[in-house]
Amino acid sequence: MIETAPLGPHVAFWIGPVPISVAVVSTWAIMAVLTVGAWLATRNLAVHPEKRQAAVEVLVCGIAGQIRDALNRDPAPYLPLAGTLFIFLVVANTSAQIPLFNAPTARIETTGALALVVFASVHYFGVRQIGWKDHLATYLKPTPILLPLNLLSELTRTVSLMVRLFGNIMSHELVLAVVVALAGLFVPLPIMALGLLVALVQAYIFSVLAIIFIGAAIGAVKGH
């Protein structure tokens, strides 16, 4: 699966009149791998864990700890979202290291979909926690005159979340492709190592920002 133009159409196949892009197929593949991996990692859980279960528990507890530190609340309601986002993004971002495979997060439609998931989740948790009237009232604070600016802020932070992830992953892939074309296969190894670091950092930033946005909606952190 090789792509060249980051913003151009790359259709893998069609379902009737609906085009299915390479990024969507890559996302499906990663989701399938993660689903099977999660099932394998969590079956036969025991009170005294083996190495596999212990590694999973360390990961889950680490994510839960980050949520608790950010929100100062029980992380359980937010753990499935934050954990899924982080694990998916780690795998999706680093998948560019696989030969002939492009990270789906290097495509604007993928990061846009993820940003929309965060956008919807923010309002879902906000309404569930404080009710829809109080949630909508947050856009009128500190004065109703600022309603347009608050709405614009909601839009721009969603776009920023999308563009930040897309720009970092896409730019790394482009740099790596140029270096490979000019210098051969083995010279870019340091850049690939740096790409792994960028991928992990971007997964962490995206997930933490999602939790902070939710925290603002539920009144756990300063927001609107």
Per-block average pLDDT, block size 10, for the chain (224 residues)?
51 81 90 93 83 90 94 93 96 84 89 95 93 89 88 92 92 76 65 82 95 89 56
**How many distinct structural domains can be found in the chain?**
1
Does a structural domain hold residue 3? no
What pLDDT, on a 0 to 100 scale, did the predictor assign at position 9? 55
Does a structural domain hold residue 4? no
What pLDDT, on a 0 to 100 scale, did the predictor assign at position 22? 85
Does a structural domain hold residue 224? no
Does a structural domain hold residue 116? yes
What pLDDT, on a 0 to 100 scale, did the predictor assign at position 83? 95
Helix count and strand count (H, E) for the chain: 7, 2
The torsion defined by the Cα of 117, 119, 125 and 129, in degrees rounded to 10, comes to: -170
- A 10 A CB-CB count for 215 gives 22
Domain that holds residue 127: 11-218
Q: What is the rounded distance in angstroms from the CA atom of residue 144 to the CA atom of residue 123?
A: 19
State the pairing for strand pair 11-15/18-21: antiparallel
Q: What is the rounded distance in angstroms from the CA atom of residue 86 to the CA atom of residue 200?
A: 9
Q: Which secondary-structure segment (H or E) carries 21?
A: strand 18-21
Q: What is the rounded distance in angstroms from the CA atom of residue 127 to the CA atom of residue 56?
A: 31
In this structure, what are the phi and psi dihedrals at residue 12, rounded to the nearest 5 degrees? -85, -45
What pLDDT, on a 0 to 100 scale, did the predictor assign at position 184? 62
Does a structural domain hold residue 54? yes
Does a structural domain hold residue 125? yes
What pLDDT, on a 0 to 100 scale, did the predictor assign at position 50? 85
**Per the structure block, which two tokens stand in for 207?**
């997930």
74 contacts 137 by C-beta, under 8 angstroms: no
Does a structural domain hold residue 75? yes
Does a structural domain hold residue 1? no
What pLDDT, on a 0 to 100 scale, did the predictor assign at position 185? 58
What pLDDT, on a 0 to 100 scale, did the predictor assign at position 61? 95
**Per the structure block, which two tokens stand in for 68?**
């608790």
pTM: 0.86
